[in-house]
Amino acid sequence: MKILPGHGSGGRLMNELIEKTIRTRLGAHVQLDDAALLSIDGPIAFTTDSFTITPIFFPGGDIGALAVNGTVNDLAVMGADPRYLSCALIIEEGMEMADLERILDSMRAAADAAGVAIVTGDTKVVPRGAADRIFINTSGIGIVKKTPARREISDGDAILINGHIGDHGMAIMAARNNLSFSKGLQSDCASLKGMIGAVLERHPGSVKFMRDATRGGVASVLNEIVAGRPYGAKLREPSLPIRDAVKGVCGILGIDALYAANEGKAVMVVDNDAAESIVSVLREHPEGKDACIIGVIDGTHPGKAYLETAIGGRRILPLLTEEQLPRIC
């Protein structure tokens, strides 16, 4: 069965789709009125994100899991406890109903795993060609508990990450291009809520900055941290956790793993004294089992993010100006 224009018409087909397919699969928290009524105590964090990924199913996840985890992580890195999500679907006419069901199931599973409820939503069907099978927007609300300290970053602070770099971006590129040697390469798409919550709980005040390194990757986050500041960010190349499969795909496509997207990685700047013990906390969680210190904030090259290579040479990590395109040779 395929999605038809009538599934977005406001008539019987749409009611059936919402009742029988969407609500059944996303769970009973979905309220059918024009808006969800919620009661929340205390300050909240509120965010929104749209997901348009191709392919919609990829090794290690799909657009549904991504749409939930992406918004959950945006809230988590701000120190909020994610609670409620909205889900807006823009579906291309002709999409297989079975694919939609699979995506909804995946959203539900991701929401349950992250302990959030999908409480409201919207469904539109657009003519063939007006969307690439399905686009999903999620907005999220979280209760602010312990935020990163946001103290001034300074010389000597450590830069941490909770695991391997570039898995998501390169898994997607490999899937798009049927690169057979990339077998086993999987997206790192995951909720970071539990892991980040534990770090902020046990090391309040030591985390100065935290950001999930999605589009633009680790290098873009570092550039954001140092832009216009009296300090720079130095990564040590031998310390970077990058899988051989990721290096392989990057090499073939001429792409730098430090700019590849991640969907389950947070970059943190923390007090150097607390760095080792924060790494230990991260490692207690499955999403953080390969956590490590990857670099340091230093004043040698203010405003720049750069890499110290294995032989002690330096290479700058500039802000990306455009999409990375595959090269010829």
Partner 1 sequence: MNNETVHKLADALRNHRLDAPMRIMEVCGTHTTEFFRSGVRDIFPAHLTLVDGPGCPVCVTANAYLDTAIEIGRAHGVIIATFGDMMKVPSSYSSLAEEKATGMDVRVVYSPMDALEIARHDPAREVVFVSVGFETTAPTEAATVIAARDAGIRNFSILPGNKLTVPAVEALLSLGEVHIDGFILPGHVSAIIGSEAWRPIPERFGKPCVVAGFETADLITGTLALMKMIASNDRTVANEYARVVRPGGNPTALSMMRRVFEPDDAEWRGIGVIPGSGLAVRDEFSRYDGFKKFPVTPPPVKEHPGCRCGELLRGLIAPTDCALFGAACRPERPVGPCMVSTEGPCAAFYKYGGFDR
Strand partners for 144: 80
Closest to partner 1 by CB, 151 vs 236, is 236
- Interface pattern 251-280 for partner 1 (x via CB under 8 A): --xx--------------------------
Closest to partner 1 by CB, 58 vs 259, is 259
Q: How far is the CB of 326 from partner 1 (least distance, A)?
A: 4
Q: Any alpha helices (H) in 27-130, and if so which ranges?
A: 63-76, 97-114
- Interface pattern 214-253 for partner 1 (x via CB under 8 A): ------------------------x--------------x
Q: How far is the CB of 322 from partner 1 (least distance, A)?
A: 5
DSSP state letter for 32:
-
CA nearest neighbour of 48 among 138, 114, 158: 138
Q: How far is the CB of 182 from partner 1 (least distance, A)?
A: 13
Q: Which range in 66-74, 188-196, 291-299, 320-328 contacts partner 1 by CB under 8 A?
A: 320-328
Instruction: Determine if 329 is a binding residue for partner 1 (CB under 8 A).
Output: yes
Instruction: Determine if 325 is a binding residue for partner 1 (CB under 8 A).
Output: yes
DSSP 230-260: S-EEEEEGGG----HHHHHHHHHHT--GGGS
Q: Which range in 129-137, 192-200, 204-212, 311-319 contacts partner 1 by CB under 8 A?
A: 311-319
Which of residues 1, 28, 35, 328 is near partner 1 by CB under 8 A? 328
Instruction: Kindly report the backbone phi and psi dihedral angles of residue 171, in degrees, each rounded to the nearest multiple of 5, phi listed first.
Output: -65, -40
Q: How far is the CB of 177 from partner 1 (least distance, A)?
A: 5
| CA 4 – CA 111 distance, rounded (Å) | 27
Closest to partner 1 by CB, 43 vs 254, is 254
Closest to partner 1 by CB, 48 vs 309, is 309
CA nearest neighbour of 317 among 190, 222, 236, 191: 222
Please list, residue by residue across 77-113, b when 16 or more beta carbons sit within 10 angstroms of its beta carbon and e when fewer do. Answer: bbbbbbbbbbbbbbbbbebeeebbebbbebbbebbeb
Closest to partner 1 by CB, 9 vs 177, is 177
Q: Which range in 1-9, 103-111, 283-291, 301-309 contacts partner 1 by CB under 8 A?
A: 301-309
Instruction: Determine if 327 is a binding residue for partner 1 (CB under 8 A).
Output: yes
DSSP state letter for 215:
T
Instruction: Determine if 309 is a binding residue for partner 1 (CB under 8 A).
Output: yes
Please list, residue by residue across 34-65, b when 16 or more beta carbons sit within 10 angstroms of its beta carbon and e when fewer do. Answer: eebeeeeeeebbebebebebeebebbbbbbbb
Contact positions with partner 1 (CB under 8 A) in 176-205: 177
Please list, residue by residue across 294-325, b when 16 or more beta carbons sit within 10 angstroms of its beta carbon and e when fewer do. Answer: bbbbbeeeeebbbbbeeeeeeeebeebeeebe
Residues that bind partner 1 (CB under 8 A): 177, 238, 253-254, 301, 304, 306-316, 318, 321-322, 324-329
